[in-house]
Amino acid sequence: MKEIGAFEAKNKFGALLDWVESGEEVVITRHGKAVARLVSAQEKFDRTKARQAAANIAVRRKGMTLGELEIKDLINEGRP
C-alpha cells in the first residue's frame, strides 16, 4: 500500500491511477492523517469465497424457525 499527500496526489493523479490499475492500494493523506483510499474498481470476484459465504449462511439458518409465526403474518404485520 502506498501513501501519498493530497497535494502530491493532485499533481500525480495519472500515476495514482496507474498504480491502482496494477493492483496497488493508495492512501491519500492530509496533514499526516489518512482521508481517502484509492482502490481498483475491478476487484476480482472470488467464486470460492462466495460459495463459502453461502454455505456459512446455510449452516447458521439450519434449525432456526419462526416458532408458531407465519412468514405472511410477519410481512403483513405493519400493513393496514
3-state helix, strand, coil in the chain (%, to 5): 45, 20, 35
Q: What is the pLDDT of residue 33?
A: 95
Q: Which three cell numbers stand for residue 31?
A: 496533514
Which pairing describes strands 33-38 and 26-30: parallel, antiparallel, or unpaired? antiparallel
Residue 31 in 3-state DSSP?
coil
57-68 per-position pLDDT tens digit: 999 888 788 888
Architecture of domain 1-80: 3-Layer(aba) Sandwich (3.40)
Q: What is the pLDDT of residue 62?
A: 85
Q: What is the pLDDT of residue 31?
A: 95
Which positions of the chain have pLDDT values less than 50?
none
Statement: the pTM of the whole predicted model exceeds 0.85: no
